Amino acid sequence: MKPRTQIILVGTLLIALVAWSAARRGPRSNNAGQSCGTCCPFLPAPGALLIPSVTNGTTINAPSQQVVAYYFHGTVRCETCLKIEQQAKAVIERQFKPELDTQRLLFIPLNYDLPENAHFLLDYKLPCPSLVLVRQKDGKDVRRTLLGDTWQLVEDPVKFNAYIETEVDKFLSDQK
């Protein structure tokens, strides 16, 4: 077989494999109009609801009321996923240092691909890697909101930072 024929054959097989793999995964829905990265699984593992909640194994001596800014992500992460986490964390650390110091506000990145965290995909209806603000009272979720504009604003740091700051501030203000 000629080298050119071999290259064409291998290329055709690779294209067929990619098409078969995409068809096997099925269509992916995109909630809230979010435009997510290519690394984003939209469906949780089977049986994920049966797994208890864990926050990275850390014990938190928390006040009775607090706001948790979770950044949910998968194991495989695209550049945009990493950028959203990095920028959100920087804004929160810069603008809400007193609240972080008193643990009235926490920033927790959490990998939903880990079995102990997989339930968050359904519990919080996560469409993809997402920043979610959760108000907790005595360790139980009272209210939450998905910050759905992070994917659209990430390339505009000024708007992104203002969005995160405004939403976190609203959540903290409602707590008083």
Half-sphere exposure at residue 123, Cβ-oriented, CA atoms within 13 angstroms: 19
Give the single-character DSSP code of 114. Answer: S
Residue scoring higher pLDDT (153 or 18)? 153
> Residue 25 domain-assigned?
no
pTM above 0.95, yes or no: no
Domain that holds residue 66: 35-175
Domain count, the chain: 1
Examine residue 139 and state whether it is found in any structural domain, yes or no. yes
Say if 83 falls within a structural domain.
yes
Q: Are 147 and 126 in contact (CB under 8 A)?
A: no
| Position 99 in a domain | yes
Tell me whether residue 15 is in a domain.
no
The span from the CA of 161 to the CA of 150, in Å, is 9
Residue 83 CA to residue 81 CA, distance in Å, equals: 5
Q: Specify if 117 maps to a domain.
A: yes
Strand order in the sheet with 140-146: 105-111, 65-73, 130-137, 140-146
**Sorting pLDDT into bands at 50, 70 and 90, what band is 37?**
low
CATH of the domain at 89: 3.40.30.10
Collapsing DSSP to helix, strand or coil, 136 comes out as: strand
Q: Determine phi and psi for 66, rounding to 5 degrees.
A: -155, 165
Structure token pair of residue 90: 């920087």
Is 28 within a domain? no
**Domain for residue 135, yes or no?**
yes
Beta-carbon contacts of residue 55 (< 8 Å; ≥ 6 apart): 108, 110
What digits encode the pLDDT tens for the residues 62-111? 567 899 999 999 898 888 889 999 999 999 999 999 999 999 999 999 99
Highest mean pLDDT among 24-28, 40-44, 87-91: 87-91
